[in-house]
């Protein structure tokens, strides 16, 4: 006998724990829409601002999905983004926009290769490697910029990397959509993505099946730093300057977005679409709490509580 037409919807709610991020996003959006409508929450400009403020977190969180899925972690992404803003701004002043783009990408590649080498060749856990790199990257950014903002005078660079719009749609939305699409296909439809998930799901078993797990871990750490550098380039373009403070603390939001979206901290499980929704949910919460008029300390408490609740509800119990 054929299943009723409502089976897909029933399956969605039957697996509500793994879909909690989508349910939670809709619930939070509706609550804010009902309570903050008079404060402009549903104003198109406000909704687009949420995207603008979330795009850099989303770009880094897509790469973090690969890192976590492979059983590793990267705590240096925020500091690398800040360093990239400075190297980009300084390079643009000397070599123009193309030189700035190359400098930003080179920054991410160099940091990622160093993180990957220390983790896979020397054997230092990625938690410690990237924690140390967080301090190194921030220190280098402060040193080469003399702690001062470095202006970007290239209007073309600023338009392409974060400051422009196509009609009412900010360029940042296109960057976020492109990175999300590439990440989703790479994780779900490519051999590389399958090897990443296999490595995080059981490294020993993956090795016996012929997967070079060290190479996979190296590559995801390089990917993460390059994504952080891209986020830094977008920060620099949007704010038309390079500053070591940009990206500071982003690593926590990036990891939270990935975990909220259904990526396991212990490896073997990840979803890029969920990560994007997780990043947007964090942006939604931040925006709503600000419109509520809460003090910064109260915002931190409320945001932390909501994230803990969402993650706790998503966990399967044996």
Neighbours of 315 (CB within 10 A): 10
Q: Contact 54/282 with Cβ under 8 angstroms?
A: yes
Q: How many whole angstroms separate alpha carbon 84 and alpha carbon 220?
A: 19
Cα distances (angstroms) measured from residue 19 to each of 23, 107, 217, 271: 6, 37, 28, 11
Task: Count other C-beta atoms under 10 Å from residue 127's C-beta.
Answer: 13
Helix (H, G, I), strand (E, B) or coil at 75: coil
Nearest to 236 by CA among 144, 170, 154: 154
Q: Given this model, what pLDDT does residue 318 score? A: 41
Range of the domain at 133: 37-314
The proportion of the chain whose per-residue pLDDT surpasses 90, expressed as a percent, equals 71
Domains held by the chain: number? 1
pTM above 0.85, yes or no: yes
- Establish if 152 belongs to a structural domain: yes
Instruction: Assess if residue 31 is contained within a domain.
Output: no
**Residue 29: both structure tokens together:** 């959006």
pLDDT digits (tens, 9 = 90+) for 281-316: 999 988 998 888 888 788 778 777 877 776 676 555
Cβ contact 58:274 at 8 Å: no
What pLDDT was estimated at residue 9? Answer: 56
Q: Residue 72 is part of a domain; what is its CATH number?
A: 1.10.3470
User: Which residues sit opposite 165 in a β-bridge?
Assistant: 170
Q: Give the pLDDT mean for 45-72.
A: 95
The runs of H, that is alpha helices, within the chain are: 7-14, 20-35, 44-69, 77-117, 126-145, 155-158, 171-189, 191-201, 203-208, 213-239, 250-260, 272-291, 296-314
User: Cα(first)–Cα(last) distance of the chain, in Å?
Assistant: 32
Does residue 120 belong to any structural domain of this protein? yes
Residue 7 is assigned to a structural domain of this protein? no
Greater confidence (18 vs 104) lies with 104
- Give the model's confidence band at 264: pLDDT under 50 very low, under 70 low, under 90 confident, else very high: confident
Q: How many residues does the chain have?
A: 318
Q: What is the mean pLDDT of the chain?
A: 90
State the residue for tokens 């220190």: 139
Residue pair 99/92 in contact (Cβ under 8 Å)? The answer is yes
User: What pLDDT score does 11 carry?
Assistant: 56
10 Å Cβ neighbour count for 209? 11
Residue 28 domain flag: no
Q: What is the DSSP string of 204-218?
A: HHHHHTT--HHHHHH
Write out pLDDT tens, residues 213-244: 999 999 999 999 999 999 999 999 999 999 99
Residue closest to 270 by CA, chosen among 119, 116, 120, 63: 63
Give mean pLDDT, residues 17-38: 85
Answer yes or no: is pLDDT of 1 > 50.
no
pLDDT higher than 90, residue 139: yes
Q: Which residue has the tokens 């198109």?
A: 44
**Is pLDDT of 55 > 80?**
yes
Residue 249 domain flag = yes
Lowest mean pLDDT among 45-54, 142-151, 181-190, 291-300: 291-300
Q: Is the model more confident about 210 or about 5?
A: 210
Query: Residue 204 — φ and ψ, nearest 5°?
Result: -65, -45
Give the Cβ contact number of residue 194 at 10 Å. Answer: 13
Residue 26 falls inside a structural domain: no
What are the residue ranges of helices labelled H in 118-147? 126-145
Residue 5 covered by a domain: no
């Amino acid at each position: 006998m054929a299943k009723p037409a409502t089976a897909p919807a029933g399956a969605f709610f039957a697996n509500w724990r793994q879909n909690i991020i989508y349910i939670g996003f809709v619930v939070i959006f509706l609550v804010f829409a009902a309570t903050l409508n008079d404060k402009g929450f549903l104003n198109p400009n406000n909704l687009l601002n949420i995207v603008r403020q979330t795009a850099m977190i989303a770009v880094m969180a897509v790469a973090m999905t690969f890192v976590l899925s492979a059983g590793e972690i990267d705590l240096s992404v925020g500091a690398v983004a800040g360093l990239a803003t400075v190297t980009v701004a300084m390079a643009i002043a000397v070599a123009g926009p193309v030189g700035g783009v190359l400098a930003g990408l080179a920054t991410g590649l160099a940091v990622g290769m160093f993180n990957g080498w220390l983790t896979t060749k020397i054997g230092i856990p990625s938690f410690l490697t990237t924690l140390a790199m967080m301090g190194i990257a921030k220190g280098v950014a402060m040193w080469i910029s003399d702690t001062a903002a470095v202006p970007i005078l290239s209007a073309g660079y600023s338009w392409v990397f974060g400051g422009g719009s196509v009609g009412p749609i900010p360029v940042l939305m296109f960057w976020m959509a492109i990175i999300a699409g590439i990440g989703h296909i790479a994780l779900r439809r490519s051999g590389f993505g399958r090897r990443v998930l296999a490595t995080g799901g059981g490294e020993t078993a993956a090795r016996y099946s012929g997967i070079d797990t060290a190479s996979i871990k190296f590559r995801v750490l390089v990917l993460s730093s390059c994504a952080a550098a891209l986020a830094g380039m977008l920060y620099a373009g949007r704010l038309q300057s390079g500053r070591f403070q940009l990206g500071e603390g982003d690593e926590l939001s990036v990891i939270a977005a990935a975990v909220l979206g259904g990526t396991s901290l212990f490896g073997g499980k990840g979803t890029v679409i969920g990560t994007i929704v997780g990043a947007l949910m964090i942006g939604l919460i931040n925006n709503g709490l600000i419109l509520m008029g809460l003090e910064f300390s109260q915002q931190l408490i409320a945001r932390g509580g909501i994230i803990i609740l969402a993650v706790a509800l998503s966990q399967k119990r044996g």
